[in-house]
Amino acid sequence: MSVAAENIPSQFEVLDQSLESQMTLSMGPQHPSTHGVLRLELQLDGEMVIKAVPDIGYLHTGMEKLFEYKKYQQGIVITDRMDYLNPLGNNLAYVMAAEKLLDLEIPDRAQVIRVMFCELQRIASHLVWLGTHALDIGAMSVFFYCFRQREKILNLIEAASGGRMTPSYFRIGGLMIDLPAGFERRIRQFLDDFPAAMEMFETLVTGNTLFQSRTQGIGIITAEEAIDWGLTGPCLRGSGVDLDLRRDNPYSGYETYDFEVPVEPDGDVWARFRVRMREFYESFKIVVQAVERLKPGPIKADAPKIVLPDRDDMRKHMDSLIHHFLIVAEGFNIPEGEVYMPIEGSKGELGVYMKSDGGPKPNRVHVRGPSFINLSALPVMSEGEMIADVVAIIGSLDIVLGEIDR
């Protein structure tokens, strides 16, 4: 036996000792499971994560600066590009901030259509989450089934607004245009088909023991920590905090709908998964109620100097034509003031802080993106976990980098 061989410790000793030198691994920004261009600086001891530092900004497009150079109605288009999986939620938060500054009354039909589309969008956003989350963990086929259902929702949004991922359907004072003929039949068809799809997802993912063992007990955050780190939405409800702005700070008439707020106490990846899976059913319930409430009526507020007139009116009335010209060419002024408008987006509290100096362009628009805040808690959840579990934790946070970097 040579001298060198004596110095080599036996197999089991190597496994039991921790490494003297830690390893730093840069995960992303092109890693597919980071859902975009997130980079994580992971300090590893073997496969265990000692420290995780998220590095963001790769998708920064200066939207908050751009808002200040665009008229209020032009800003709606920018909001589509932030959280591109939940564009109608962004539209709603932005237009409601402006409406709050203007003290506008929105007609009932417009409110019902807003609620209906926001919940459809939430289902679509959760479908992307479910597909990619399952894909990250290794279940490939779920992705295709989810996108097939999402396609139906995007078709509905396209039928109403003309855009699939960038609808800009909600406008300050109401909606862009009324629902097309035959829309109710199409949405009822979707509602008839969707429960069967949900049942399939539950069978495909929820009952899967591999999926359960990859998610249960992973990435735990307690309720106190979750509040301290500002988590909102399904991530907060997955830690057992019963908070939903649709119920607790109601807007757009959500207080008149009958729905439950799913809460799971465990705070792990599985709990966040269960919350979102249960939210599918609650959103579905709200859409069904909203479709029942669709009654003919105006879709725009009675404010001719703010809301664009109908094309038909412009051909018949001189003053409509003048208002149209003024709104498009010069915009409308919003009185001086500041508001913060929070809504329950598909990922958490989506807040828009809008400050007006009395002119046709905002002085400052700040968007509190839920993904941004939820991601900041990633180190708390992932430290002490295995590197493969970090992928599951990122998936459970449901981040969209377009909203994080803005």
Partner 1 sequence: MADTIILHEFVEKLKVENPSWISDVKEAHGEVTAIVPRESIVDVCWVLKTKHGFDMLADLNGADRGPEEDPRFEVVYHLFSTKHFNRLRLKVLLSEDEPNVPTVETVWKTANWHERETFDMFGVIFDGHPDLRRILLPSDFDGHALRKDYPLRGYEPYSLT
The footprint of partner 1 (CB under 8 A) covers 56-57, 60, 62, 64-66, 69, 100-101, 103, 225, 227-230, 241, 243, 248-249, 337-340, 342, 349, 351, 353, 355, 363-364, 366, 368, 372-373, 376-377, 405-406
* CB nearer partner 1, residue 151 or residue 336: 336
* CB nearer partner 1, residue 271 or residue 290: 271
| Coil/strand/helix, residue 143 | helix
Minimum distance of partner 1 from residue 149's CB (angstroms): 32
Cβ 26 vs Cβ 36: under 8 Å: no
Q: Please state, in angstroms and rounded to a whole number, the distance separating the CA atoms of residues 225 and 230.
A: 8
Minimum distance of partner 1 from residue 389's CB (angstroms): 22
* CB nearer partner 1, residue 310 or residue 338: 338
Indicate the helix (H) or strand (E) that contains 374. Answer: helix 370-376
Beta bridge partners of 32: none
Q: Please state, in angstroms and rounded to a whole number, the distance separating the CA atoms of residues 390 and 388.
A: 5
Minimum distance of partner 1 from residue 314's CB (angstroms): 32
* CB nearer partner 1, residue 187 or residue 352: 352
* CB nearer partner 1, residue 43 or residue 363: 363
359-396: b (≥16 Cβ within 10 Å) or e: ebbbeebebbbbbbbbbebbebbbbebebebbbbbbbb
CA 185 to chain centre: 27
Cβ 54 vs Cβ 379: under 8 Å: yes
Token representation of residue 358: 């009395």
| Coil/strand/helix, residue 358 | coil
Minimum distance of partner 1 from residue 100's CB (angstroms): 5
Minimum distance of partner 1 from residue 362's CB (angstroms): 11
For the sheet containing 337-344, what is the strand order? Answer: 337-344, 349-356, 362-368
* CB nearer partner 1, residue 308 or residue 373: 373
